[in-house]
Copies of this chain bind each other. A is one copy, B any other.
Amino acid sequence: MRLVIARCSVDYAGRLTAHLPSAPRLILVKADGSVSIHADDRAYKPLNWMSPPCTLKESVDGEAVENGAAAVWTVINKAGEKLIITMEEILHDSSHELGVDPGLIKDGVEAHLQELLADRIETLGEGWTLVRREYPTAIGPVDILCRDADGATVAVEIKRRGEIDGVEQLTRYLELLNRDPHLAPVKGIFAAQEIKPQARVLATDRGIDCVVLDYDALRGIEDDKLRLF
Contacts and interface: CB of A to CB of B under 8 A. Distances in A.
Given A47-B101, A165-B165, A168-B168, A32 B41 contact: yes
Interface of A is mostly: loop
A31 to B, nearest CB: 4
A18 B104 contact: yes
Query: How many copies of this chain sit in the oligomeric assembly?
Result: 2
A91 B24 CA distance: 24
Contact of A18 (B40, B43, B107): B107
Given A17-B108, A105-B20, A40 B36 contact: no
Contacts of A31: 40-41
Nearest to A46: B44
Nearest to A112: B16
A26 B168 contact: no
